[in-house]
Each structure stands twice: as structure tokens, then as C-alpha cells.
Amino acid sequence: MLFLIFELGRDRYAIDVRQIAEVLPLVAVTRVAGAPKGMDGIFNYRGAPVPLVDLAQVTLGRPSVRRLSTRIVLVYYPDDAGRGHLLGLVAERATRTASHEPSEFVPSGITSTAAPYLAGIATDAHGLLQRMDIATLLPPSVRDLLFKAPADH
């Protein structure tokens, strides 16, 4: 299975490429007043507004470092009905892929309710690699704010 590899601080993470629509360079972002913590704003993707989450802000409590290797990873974020919504993720050093078997990612032995999106850890020639599950990245309150139809609120 192929994974996109990126970094948050000194740590490496992996996202299954089947969850990814496209990897984009950083683009102009419109800030949204009152947005939840970690929401960078929205950006225009082919004429449609897409919410943007800064992964470093969500996981490390600081904004992503803006450099040439910082990308927007456009993912399919599933709602409760299983429909995929486009969601942009700002990820540092998102420039390579690697093949890993899903069975290579094993529990870390540390359970964290603050990081339910961690889906196991693997070891490769570069060290430890943490798998990120897109479906559990956002807390339910943020997911509902972004992806519930107005009639559902």
C-alpha cells in the first residue's frame, strides 16, 4: 500500500494515498472569523470553497512552517453517512511516498484520547513512522460544523 509521508516537527507521519484527492502547493487562504482551533481558513479549489486544517496547529499547537515542501494535502474526509468531503490539510515536508503493508503499523502501546487519529506505528530505514487516520482527525464538533447540511444542525 502506498502512503504519503510528511513531517510534523521532528516526527514523520503517513496517510494512505487512497484517502488523498491531490497534493497542492500552498495557495492563498481566506481566514474565517471564529473558526475552531487548527482551522487555517478556506481556499478555492476549482471554484469551490474547501476548509483547510493546519496539522501542526492541531497536533503541536503551532502553525506549520511555510516552506517550499509544505503542501496542502487534499483528502476525502468521510461524514457519518460515509460520503467523502474535500478537506485541505497543511502538512510540512510532504514531498515523498513510501510503500508499507498495513500490518506493519502496530499499536504504539500509548493510548491518547487527544490523538485518536493515530492508527499505529511502523519502523523503516528512517526511524519511526506514525499512520494518520483521516476519518478520526477532527473532533465530532468540528466535523459537524464543517460537513453537516444546514438542515441537520
CB 119 within 8 A of CB 100: no
Strand partners for 128: 123
Instruction: Pull the grid cell for residue 97.
Output: 511516498
Residue among 8, 10, 13 at smallest CA distance from 98: 13
Mean pLDDT of 117-133: 91
Residue among 38, 17, 16, 8 at smallest CA distance from 128: 8
Strand partners for 124: 127
At residue 52, the pLDDT reads 95
Task: Share the mean pLDDT of the chain.
Answer: 88
**92: Cα within 13 Å, side-chain hemisphere:** 19
Decide if pLDDT at 89 tops 70: yes
Neighbours of 131 (CB within 10 A): 20
Distances (CA, A) of 92 to 48, 55, 110: 24, 8, 24
Q: If you search the block for the grid coordinates 515536508, which residue do you land on?
A: 93
Decide if pLDDT at 94 tops 80: yes
Mean pLDDT of 75-96: 90
> Would you call 9 helix, strand, or coil by DSSP?
coil
Mean pLDDT of 93-110: 90
Kindly indicate the confidence band of residue 150, based on its pLDDT and cuts at 50, 70 and 90.
Answer: low
Kindly indicate the confidence band of residue 147, based on its pLDDT and cuts at 50, 70 and 90.
Answer: confident
Distance spanning both ends of the chain, measured CA to CA: 37
Kindly indicate the confidence band of residue 153, based on its pLDDT and cuts at 50, 70 and 90.
Answer: very low
Kindly indicate the confidence band of residue 48, based on its pLDDT and cuts at 50, 70 and 90.
Answer: very high
